[in-house]
Amino acid sequence: MQNIKTNKLFVASCLSLLVTSLSFGIRAGIMGQLGTDFNLNASELSTITATAFWGFPLAVVIGGFIVDLIGMKRLLVMAFVFHLLGIVLTIFAQGYWTLFFSTLLIGIANGTVEASCNPLVTALYPENKTTRLNYFHLWFPGGIVIGSLLVLLFTHLGLNWQIQVGVMIVPTLIYGYLFSKLDFPVTERVAAGFTTADMYKGVLNPLYIFMFVCMCGTAITELFTNQWTGVLFKAVTNNAILILTFVATIQVICRAFAGPIVHRLAPQGVLLISTILSALGIFLLVTLQGNAIFFAATVFGLGVAFFWPCMIGFVAENIPQSGALGINLLGGGGMLAVSFYTIFMGGFYDNHTVKHLAAGASLTDYQKAAADTPMANELARAQSLAGFDVLHTTLLIPIVLIVAFGGLVFYMNTQRKKAAVAN
C-alpha cells in the first residue's frame, strides 16, 4: 500500500520548479556577461536562450505521452539528472556550443519537471486544482526573484557567473533526494477511469485546440518579455535586471493570493483581465521613462501573474479527460512558441539596431568599440530604440488575446446557462 505524503510531494515539486526558474533568472542576469566573455552577438544569445525554450517542449511533450506508462517518479529522477548535467556543463562552458548544449539539457530538465509536477499537483489536490497550481507556479517567478537578486549580489561582490550558476546545484540535490524517497499517486486521469482513447479525444476537442493556440500567445507575452528584459532595457537603466525582479515579485504575491480571485472570476475571467493588463503594461513599458518604468512593470506583472497556472487550470478543470497529455502539450506548445519567437526577435533586434545606426554601419564594428566612446554611445542609443521596436511588435499578441479571451468568457457563460436550464 502506497503511503502518499501530500505535503512533502508538494514541497519537493516546488523545489524542482525553483531550480527551473533559477535557470531563467540567473541566465537573464548573466546574459550580457556571457555575450562579453564569449564574444556573442544578440542573435547568438537569442539562439542560446531559445534552446531552453525548445528543449522544454521536447521534454514536456514526450513526458506527456509516457508519464502514465512509467510514472511521475521516474520522470522526476530523470529531471534531476538532466538538471545536474546541464548546470555542470554551463559552469565549465568554453563558448557558443557548450552554452548551447548545456542550455538544452537544462531546458529538457525544466520540461521534464513540468511534465511530471503539473499532473502531480492536480492528482494531489483534485478539488482545488487551479488554486494549487497557482501556489505551485509562484515558485517560478519566485526563483526568478531569487536568481536575479543573487546575480546582483554576486556581481557586486565581484564573483564570477560560474559561481552564480553553481548555486542551482543545492536545491537540485535536495529535490532529487526527496523524490527518490517518496511514493507517488497515479495521475488524475487514471484515477478517474478515463481511457487512453478518451485522452486523445480530449486533446482534439475544439475548446482544447483553442486554448492551445492561446497558450502560445500568453507564453510569449510573459516569458519572452521577461527573459529579454536585461537586453531590451540595458540602455535605458543601469539596473534593467531589477525590472525583471520587480515583475517576478508581483507575480509571486498575486499567485500566493490566487484562491479567492480564481474562485470569484473563474480561470477564464482571470485570463481576460490578465490579458488587458498585460497589453497595457507593455504599452507603458515603451511609453514611460525613468522611474516610471517600474509603474509600467507593476501593471505588466499584474497582467502576466496568472497566465500559466490559469491556462493549465482551465484545461484541467474543463477538459479533465485530456489528462497529463493535455496539460503537457499545452505547456510544450507555449514554450515552443517562445523559442521560435525568441529566435525571430533576436534577428529582428539586430536588424533594427543597424537601422538606427548611421547608413552603412557595421554592427560588428560598433560592438567592438571601447566603452564610453562615441561609437559605443551610439550603439547604446540604437539598441535602446531597437528594444522599443521589439516590444511594440510584441504588444500585438496580447491585443489579439483580449478578443480571444473575451469570446471564451462569453462561451463559458453560455455553456453554464445551458447547463442550468437542463438541470
Q: Average pLDDT in the 204-231 region?
A: 89
Cα 59 to the center of its chain, rounded Å: 15
With contact defined as beta carbons under 8 Å apart, do 139 and 25 qualify?
A: no
> Could you identify the residue written with the cell 492561446?
214
User: Residue 285: CB partners within 8 Å, gap ≥ 6?
Assistant: 293, 296, 297, 300, 391
Task: Classify domain 6-416 by CATH number.
Answer: 1.20.1250.20
Can you spell out the DSSP letters for 290-342?
A: GGGHHHHHHHHHHHHTTHHHHHHHHHHHH-GGGHHHHHHHHHHHHHHHHHHHH
What the block records as the C-alpha cell of 130 is: 487551479
What the block records as the C-alpha cell of 404 is: 480571444
For the chain, the C-alpha Rg in angstroms (whole number) is 21
Residue 30 has pLDDT above 90, yes or no: no
Helix, strand or coil, per DSSP, at residue 22: helix
Top mean-pLDDT range of 25-39, 152-166, 403-417 = 403-417
With contact defined as beta carbons under 8 Å apart, do 54 and 339 qualify?
A: yes
Three-class DSSP labels, 334-379: HHHHHHHHHHHHHHHHHHHHHHCCCCCCCHHHHHCCCCCCHHHHHH
Nearest to 292 by CA among 340, 343, 237: 237
Local structure of residue 138 (DSSP, 8 states): T
Residue 371 has pLDDT above 90, yes or no: no
CA distance linking residue 17 with residue 179, whole number of Å: 13
CA distance linking residue 253 with residue 239, whole number of Å: 22
Q: What is the pLDDT of residue 306?
A: 96
User: pLDDT > 70: what percent of the chain?
Assistant: 96
The string of pLDDT tens digits covering residues 302-348 is 999 999 999 999 999 999 999 999 999 998 899 889 888 988 888 89
Q: What is the pLDDT of residue 239?
A: 62
Q: What is the pLDDT of residue 232?
A: 59
Q: Average pLDDT in the 371-397 region?
A: 87
Q: Average pLDDT in the 242-269 region?
A: 90
Residue 254 has pLDDT above 60, yes or no: yes
Q: What is the pTM of this model?
A: 0.84
CA distance linking residue 117 with residue 345, whole number of Å: 30
pLDDT grade for 120, boundaries at 50, 70 and 90 = very high
What the block records as the C-alpha cell of 171 is: 536545491
CA distance linking residue 118 with residue 385, whole number of Å: 39
Q: Exposed, middle or buried by CB within 10 Å (0-12, 13-18, 19+), for 164?
A: buried
pLDDT grade for 415, boundaries at 50, 70 and 90 = very high
CA distance linking residue 272 with residue 279, whole number of Å: 11
CB atoms within 10 A of CB 419: 9
Mean pLDDT estimate for the chain? 89
Q: Average pLDDT in the 78-98 region?
A: 93
With contact defined as beta carbons under 8 Å apart, do 160 and 38 qualify?
A: no
Amino acid identity for residue 89 in this structure: L
For 271-284, give one letter per residue: b (16+ CB within 10 A) or e. bbbbbbbbbbbbbb
Nearest to 114 by CA among 7, 207, 21: 21
H/E segment holding residue 99? helix 96-124
Lowest mean pLDDT among 85-89, 222-226, 313-317: 222-226
Q: What is the pLDDT of residue 1?
A: 40
What the block records as the C-alpha cell of 113 is: 519537471
The string of pLDDT tens digits covering residues 155-178 is 888 888 899 899 999 999 999 999
The string of pLDDT tens digits covering residues 47-75 is 887 787 778 888 988 998 899 889 899 99
Counted residue by residue, the chain has a size of 423
pLDDT grade for 361, boundaries at 50, 70 and 90 = confident
Each domain of the chain, given as residue ranges in start order, spans: 6-416
CB atoms within 10 A of CB 344: 13
CB atoms within 10 A of CB 266: 20
Q: What is the pLDDT of residue 308?
A: 94
Lowest mean pLDDT among 32-46, 110-124, 407-421: 32-46
Residue 365 has pLDDT above 70, yes or no: yes
Residue 373 has pLDDT above 60, yes or no: yes
Q: Average pLDDT in the 284-288 region?
A: 87
For 56-70, give one letter per residue: b (16+ CB within 10 A) or e. bbbbbbbbbeebbee
Residue 386 has pLDDT above 60, yes or no: yes
